[in-house]
Each structure stands twice: as structure tokens, then as C-alpha cells.
Structure 1
Amino acid sequence: MPLDLSYLSIPLPEEVVRIKQYGDFQGAAKVIDHLLERKIPFALKKRLEIEKEIIKMIGINEYPFSVNEAIHQMREAFEQFESKELDQLMEESLVDWIYVGGEPHFQRRFLLNLVKTQPAYAERLIKKEDSETDQLRKIELTENIRLMKENGHRKVKIHIRSSIKIKKEHERIGEQVKVHLPVPRNAQQISEIKILKHSEADKVTTSPEDSYQRTICFETRLKENEEFFVEYEYVNEVHYIELDALKAEKAKEEMSDLEEQLPHIRFTPYLQSILDEVLDGETNTVIQARKIYDFITTNVKYSFMREYFTIDNISEYAAVNLKGDCGVQAILFITLCRMAGIPAKWQSGLYVSQYYTGCHDWAQFYVEPYGWIFADLSFGGGAYAAGDIERWNYYFGNLDIFRMPANDRIQEEFIPAKLHVRADPIDNQRGEWEYGDQGIPYAYLEVKQELISMKEIWGEGEQKELFRKSQLDDSAEKVL
């Protein structure tokens, strides 16, 4: 049955909180079971049912490494590492950890996050990461900005292959499975969507192009080492917008996307105090949105996150902890914009380029006379941190061409619906997998997204190939 996540806004009983914070997840589940046997308010019952699912996810997947295991990994990774450094990192909230059985345990990507967010640790890596690829990505984004400003728009045809399979140790051959993979939706910048090929299955269903979270669904009996895949293409056209605050007006008609959406788009007293401080009496909608963008991109530091399902209120989490990944930052932006009376909404799917293809989230907001425009908080924040002010300014109002939007809202059900609790009930970028009796967490899955080709479209259909994946040696090449 789908979970109504709005009940995450209900507080947990203190006994559950105490035992959970200690890291006794089995004990917390037992307390919840006892409470559910009693006559309790309906809203509290629904909150406790959600908490049982959250406890499963945290206990199994999210915080696997003890202190000794974390120290061992860091000694293997960094030059001249001393164990006392881990204590300091914990004190400064630079590593994500919780208590498990009364002992600190570290999030599964704590080491990767440290390398990504702390340049000093990236410099100390024993095996240096390939910085050339990162540099090429920045050049690619800079070139996109130049072309967008020169030409006013860019239009590309993109071909992608996405796949999902379950790890061998969790394979249940012959059992019925239901698998969803995200595919492009009919968003404002997307057209000419085509499903080119996909896995065979007893039943294959592609949801309508205007689905808020669009997928292709496979239902069949699992074969050994079976991979489910889909290949698709679409046209992505983005236009350059130079926002002029003097032209800005409030929406002339009644708009949606202004309301709360519990639990994560919640108008709390703390967020209201931040908004009042950030806006400081400003009433112009473009300047208001820019002030919100500036606050997030200069104060909320990028950080890998645990699964969103384990967070009670994502927008307030970002504003309290001043950290978060692309989706956390986007939800905070959407929430603050709505609180200011600016319609704002979600968009997510993939970032797609020859140098990197993977999950990404961003936001949209509405201002007359421009209509719906974009804001990419994590790209903007990364540009600001790097001192690239042109790129920082660009991602307030504009996107690049390297996107595949599959989702237009958070917390939407699939068509056809999943039977069991989703691994991510908020968004869908990686896909979902379930057996007849349970949903499967991402720790048990292998997900892959590949850019096959990208062609730029000019004038009367003239095309220039920007990228093509070689079918001969499975390597990628740029076509000059």
C-alpha cells in the first residue's frame, strides 16, 4: 500500500525517539508494535507505520561502518591519516554518523562525501582521482553558457540507455517481479519522446507522457542474471532568459504550486524567520527569488545524503544543518519561494553528458512575464564556491542542455502503482524493484545510465553530432 508521507509531520512518542537515537532499531520496532496494538489516534498510527519502514532502511543499509572500519578506510585512502582526525570531523559535522547499538556508525558514502566536499582531503588521497574529467565538465558548462547567450537557445536530440538488475545474492529466480525504470516526461523543454527498445517481459506498461513521475514497468518471472533496460530518445530545447526585475509582476491568474506539501514542503516558524531575514522587506518577485537563491547557494553546502525517506522534513533539514545535495537544496528553494508567494515546483531525472551521466534534481519558479523558469541550486552553489560568478548567475533562471526530466512533482504514485513501499517514495531517478512480498532497497540493486548519443539541431533540421558511444569497443568518444 502507498504511504501517505504527510504523516511524517506527526511527532514520534519519546520512547521511540530515545531507543532509535541509541541505535536499537529492533527495540524501537518492538515499542512501535506495542503502541500499534493499543487504541491510539489514527494520525499517530499512520506515523508509526511509516517509522517502521524508515527503521528498516536505516538499520539495513545506511550506516554500515563502525569507528574501526571507518578509520581503516581512511587510512587506506589518505596520506598521513591519524585516528583523532575522525573525532574532529564528527565534532565539525563533516561526516554523517548515527548510533547503532550505542556505538557510532558512519553513512555508507561518508568517505566519498569527504573527498567531494573537503578539498584538503581530496589533496591527501593516496590514489588521486581523475581531475581531468571534472575539468572537462566545467569547460562543457562554460561553453554551453557562451552558446546559449550567443544564440538565445540550444536544441539537442539525446539517446539514453538505462538499466537495473538485482545483485546476485538477492536474486530469487522464478519469482514474480515488478520493475519500474524512469523515462522522459512531456516537460516544457522536452518533445519528440520515443521509446526505442526495452527488455522483454510478460507485461510491459509505459505510463502516459504527462505522468508526474513517468516510468516504464516490467512484470514477469525473474530469470537468472536478468537485467531490465530501456533505450529512449527525446529532443531537449532550452531558451536563454535574462531576467529583468523591472519587468517582473506577480502572477496575473490564480496559480497552483503555492501550497504546502507535507512533510517536506512545510511552512515552519523557523523557515519563516529565515525568509523574513533573507527578503528584508523586498517585494519584487525576481529579486525575492534571487535573494532565496543566493542564500541557499552561498550557505547550504553540497553534501551527499542518506535516503530522503529517512528525513522527517527535508526543507527544514537543509536550513538547520546548512548542507544537502541537489534535491535537498531544490526542496528548500521551492518551499521558501512558495512561502514568499512565488509559485515553485520540482523537476528531476538525469544530468546527461559525455563526462558524467547520473541522477540530478533542480527547481522551477514562476514569474510574469517570463512564465516558468529554472533554478539549479547545486550547480549554482558549486559555481559560487569555485569563484565562477557568470555560471552562478546563469543557473538562476536558466538550465543547460544536459538534462532528462522524468519527474515534475515529489511524492507521486507510479502508473501502474507499486504494491510495496518504494525505496524512494519521494522521487524516482534510479528505478524501483519489488517481489510479490516486498520492495527492494537500493543497496540490493545495480543501476546504470548511459548516454548513447547527443546531436545538436540547428536551423532547418541540420544536425551536428556532439557525442557518440562506440558500439564496437564500448568506449565513448567525442565527435569533433
Structure 2
Amino acid sequence: MYYDLSYMSVPLPEDVLKLKNYGDFDGAATLIEHLLSNELPEALRKRLEIEQDIIRIVGINEYPFDFSEASQMMEATFKDYQEQELTSLKETGKVDWLYIDGKIHFQRRFLLNLIKTQADYEARLIVKEDNEVDRLRKQELTQNVQLMKENGSRKVKIHLKTSIKVKKQYERPGETVRVYLPLPKECKQTSDIQILKTVPEATFIAPEKEAQRTIYFETILKEDQVFSVEYSYINQVDYVDLDPKKATEVQPEFELHEQLPHIRFTPYLEQVLTEVLAGETNPIKKARKIYDFITTKVNYSFMREYFTIDNISEYAAVNLKGDCGVQAILFITLCRMAKIPAKWQSGLYVSQYYTGCHDWAQFYVAPYGWVFADLSFGGGARRNGDLDRWNYYFGNLDVFRMPANSEIQTDFNPPKQFLRADPIDNQRGEFEYENQGLPYAYLDVQQDLIAMDELV
């Protein structure tokens, strides 16, 4: 069943908002049920139905730690911790929190977020983390920039295995399950996509041009069953050095539309864009100004599930924080508002040092065509003082990618019956029984690089 998330742009009734902001999710759910029993405008009905699922998702292990528990975790993790620090971090927006029944609770990854985004807290770790992998990843990316500039392009063959299983306590052997895993899709940089092995046998493999491409399993669940797929593909990226002087006067007019609720041209974003562009008219310079704004002003931060955010682009521009996808959506939105075609791309970052979910953007400028922008990688490079890599990710991408999605908020083929764990994107996969879909808190997902070979 496709969820039309555009209805999230409809305001919630005041009393529902009061209960939600206080953290009385049971009360909010009860009120929504009461409201839905009445005659309502169809748009409001759709919004309330979506809110029922948002409340449920927020309540499933998203903000598990109260102030006392979070403070104890801080004390066990950082040297010379004082309790007032947590209050200060909350007040300065460096930790994500909300009210549950009127009491402050912290997001499940607040501690990891502090370590990864606040250098002073990383330096105070009681047990120092092994940063060798991070160092090697940065070295790998810096070397990629050098190789791309020297050779003009890179081509690799990547062999990956991804898998998904339901956690033991939520396992129901003997019942029919429907399972989806993302697959590499046909796009600018990929070719020769091969499905090498599936366990069990696949029920359906979506076409390579699918906007969110998946492999689909439908079977009777066995105890401890793992669903997996192995595939290979060739990834080639070409280096581009965008020259504003070469931008043509006439630019195309596709991929300029709003896509509610997250790509929304709001009055606030109009004001932000006017300030950022400062009268600039050259399309490459406009895109660069937007890139610079996001990579210098929007701090990297882990996020709660995207589905629980009303408007991702405005969230990023108001709170000045967000992860790779949040920053990419803000970039796409501002580019479209500036009459620069822009679109989504996401999937996995894949290398010998790390494999995991990642999002980035594409934008179009004639005569170059579609080029890339990786906001979080660019911003991270700038914060680390690597200006060459910062400049590189305006227009370019590395070879360490598995692109599975070219759009947000699209249905699968075949369609999923229940609300997706991630209705926006698909990087980890989806799992459902005949009577419900499962959130990621109920699932174990794994991605493993088998081989990556450089091709001449």
C-alpha cells in the first residue's frame, strides 16, 4: 500500500500537537482515533492516519533514555563529566531529545553522535576508540581525488552481499513473509549489473530502471531464516571541473518541481535562498553558493527516522543540522527553487574499510549535464581542513557507491502491503508479515563487501 506522504504538509489539530509535544503519545493516539470517527476533510483524515504511524514509530525505542540514564551513560563514557553538561548540550542542540509523558528523553544514538560530531567529547573518552578505520577511510577518499584528477576517471567492479532477518523475539515461523532488499539500479555511473546468488530463491527481481530497485522474496518463514542476495556491478565515475564561464544561457526546466512534504518551497526557504544567492545568476555559481551554505552552516548529526520529520529540507535549514540525506534533500530543494534541476541518489557507501547507508544528490547544468554533490562528505572534508576534497564533492563522486534509489517516496515493484520501515528511501530493506510491516528495531540488516577490483 502506497503512503502518500504529501499529506504530511497538512497541519495537525492543535490538541493533537499539544499532546504530542508533551510526549503523551497514548493520549494523542486516543484523540486521533476519536477525530477519525467523525466526518473530516479527506486531507485532514489522511494526515491523521499518517500521524498514527509516526507516533507508533517514535515510541519504538527511538528515545529510550531519560535524563538520569543519559547522565549515567555520559559519566561512564567521558572524563570529568559534570551533570550540568547534559543540560547544556540539550539547550545548545547538540543532543536530540523530546518529551515522553512530560519528561525529557534522549535519542538512542545521542552518545555516539556526540563522539562523532564533537571533537572535545571524543578527546575526553575514558576508553579511546580505535580511529584507524576512520583514518584509512579519509586517506582512501583523499587518494580517490588524486587519482580522479590524474586519470580523469575511475572504474571498479564491486561484489556485494546484503542480508536481512527478523530478530528472534519477533520471529513467527510458519507464517508468510514478504521481504525486500535493495539492488543496484541502472544510472549514470553503473553498468553490467549481475545477480549472482539469492537465498532463498527470489520471487521477483525489479527491472534495473526502477526508481527504488529491489529483490523480492515471498515465502513461509523458517526459524532463524536469513534472506540474502549477492550481486556485482561496474561503477565508473568521470572527473569534472565545473567552469562557470562555460555555463550556457539557456538551462533545462525539468526536475524543478516540489515534492511534498520534504521538497517544499516554503517562505522561510525563499528568504534563505535569497540571502545565500545574493543576486547571483550564473547556474554553476548559484549551485556552488548553495553547496557552500550547507557544507559550512549545516552541521552533521545523526537523525531519527525520516518518517517522523514533517519537512526535512526546512528542518535542516532551521536547525542547521542533519545527516547525509537531510543535507542532500535541502540541497535539492534549494537548487530547484533556484531553477537548477536537482534529484536524489542513494544506496550504500562501499569500501574495504566500511560499508553502510549513504545519500547524495545530483544537479544539472548545461553543457555538463548531470553532475554530483555529496554534501556530508564535502562538509566533513572542510571541517578536517581538506579543502581539495571539499571542492571535489561539488560536481564529483567517488567510486565507492552502490546506487539503489533515484527518487524518494516511491513505491516498490511489487508494492509493499503495509507502511514501510522507511517510506522515504530504501537502503536496508523491508520485512512484513501478512498482518503488519516491521520497523528496523525488529530487524537485523547486514552489508558485506566481497570484492572490489580496479579496472583499467
| Counterpart pick for 2:392 among 391, 394, 397 | 394
Distance 1:98 1:156 in 2: 44
Identity over aligned pairs, percent: 66
Task: Show the 5 A alignment for 1:147-296.
Answer: 147-201=147-201, 204-250=203-249, 252-253=251-252, 255-296=253-294
Match of 1:473 in 2: none
Task: Show the 5 A alignment for 1:360-371.
Answer: 360-371=358-369
Unaligned segments of structure 1, at least 5 residues:
459-480
Task: Show the 5 A alignment for 1:105-116.
Answer: 105-116=105-116
Which AA in structure 2 matches 1:115? I
Which deviations, in whole Å up to 9, do the C-alpha atoms of 1:430-458 show, x marking residues without a partner?
10111111110001111110111000111
CA RMSD, 1 decimal: 0.9
Conserved 8 A contact 1:251-1:367: no
Distance 2:72 2:418 in 1: 37
Which AA in structure 1 matches 2:4? D
Match of 1:465 in 2: none
Which AA in structure 1 matches 2:194? K
Which deviations, in whole Å up to 9, do the C-alpha atoms of 1:28-69 show, x marking residues without a partner?
011001111111111000000000000000012211111111
Match of 1:97 in 2: 97
Match of 1:439 in 2: 437
| Counterpart pick for 2:372 among 357, 366, 374 | 374
Which AA in structure 2 matches 1:223? K
Which AA in structure 2 matches 1:219? E
Distance 2:5 2:79 in 1: 44
User: Deviation of residue 418 (structure 1)?
Assistant: 0.4
Distance 2:66 2:228 in 1: 36
Task: Kindly tell me the number of residue pairs found equivalent between the two proteins.
Answer: 456
Which AA in structure 1 matches 2:364? Y
User: Deviation of residue 250 (structure 1)?
Assistant: 5.0
Conserved 8 A contact 2:251-2:365: no
Conserved 8 A contact 1:175-1:221: yes
Which deviations, in whole Å up to 9, do the C-alpha atoms of 1:81-111 show, x marking residues without a partner?
1221111111111100000011001111111
| Worse-matched range after superposition: 77-86 or 21-30 | 77-86
Task: Show the 5 A alignment for 1:349-364.
Answer: 349-364=347-362
Distance 1:146 1:383 in 2: 14
Distance 1:223 1:133, change over 3 A: same
Distance 1:225 1:189 in 2: 36
User: Deviation of residue 131 (structure 1)?
Assistant: 1.1
User: Deviation of residue 206 (structure 1)?
Assistant: 0.7
Distance 1:454 1:232 in 2: 12
User: Deviation of residue 74 (structure 1)?
Assistant: 1.3
Partner secondary structure for residue 2 of structure 2? coil
Which deviations, in whole Å up to 9, do the C-alpha atoms of 1:361-403 show, x marking residues without a partner?
0000000000000000000000111111000000000000100
User: Deviation of residue 204 (structure 1)?
Assistant: 1.6
Partner secondary structure for residue 31 of structure 1? helix
User: Deviation of residue 78 (structure 1)?
Assistant: 1.3
Distance 1:109 1:264, change over 3 A: same
Which AA in structure 2 matches 1:343? P
Which AA in structure 1 matches 2:12? L
Which AA in structure 2 matches 1:301? N
1:304 aligns to 2:299 (yes or no):
no
| Counterpart pick for 2:447 among 438, 446, 449 | 449
Partner secondary structure for residue 364 of structure 1? strand
| Worse-matched range after superposition: 79-88 or 434-443 | 79-88
Match of 1:470 in 2: none
Which deviations, in whole Å up to 9, do the C-alpha atoms of 1:300-355 show, x marking residues without a partner?
00000000000000000000000000000000000000000000000000000111
Distance 2:140 2:444 in 1: 28
Which AA in structure 1 matches 2:145? I
Which AA in structure 1 matches 2:96? D
Partner secondary structure for residue 415 of structure 1? coil
Distance 2:200 2:390 in 1: 44
Partner secondary structure for residue 174 of structure 1? coil
| Counterpart pick for 1:336 among 330, 334, 343 | 334
Distance 1:371 1:45 in 2: 42
Partner secondary structure for residue 62 of structure 1? coil
Match of 1:412 in 2: 410
Which AA in structure 1 matches 2:68? N
Conserved 8 A contact 1:185-1:214: yes
User: Deviation of residue 130 (structure 1)?
Assistant: 1.2
Distance 1:45 1:268 in 2: 23
Match of 1:11 in 2: 11
Conserved 8 A contact 2:200-2:228: no
Conserved 8 A contact 2:332-2:344: yes
Match of 2:65 in 1: 65
Match of 1:468 in 2: none
| Counterpart pick for 2:424 among 423, 426, 443 | 426
Partner secondary structure for residue 125 of structure 1? coil
Distance 1:67 1:176 in 2: 41
Conserved 8 A contact 1:250-1:367: no
User: Deviation of residue 73 (structure 1)?
Assistant: 1.4
Distance 1:68 1:187 in 2: 49
TM-score, normalised relative to structure 2:
0.99
Partner secondary structure for residue 61 of structure 2? helix
Distance 2:52 2:193 in 1: 39
Which AA in structure 2 matches 1:324? G
Conserved 8 A contact 1:159-1:233: yes
TM-score, normalised relative to structure 1:
0.94
Distance 1:53 1:104 in 2: 22
Distance 1:399 1:277 in 2: 28
Which AA in structure 2 matches 1:102? G
Distance 2:248 2:35 in 1: 52
Partner secondary structure for residue 433 of structure 1? strand
Distance 1:295 1:165 in 2: 40
Which AA in structure 1 matches 2:9? S
User: Deviation of residue 256 (structure 1)?
Assistant: 2.4
User: Deviation of residue 257 (structure 1)?
Assistant: 1.0
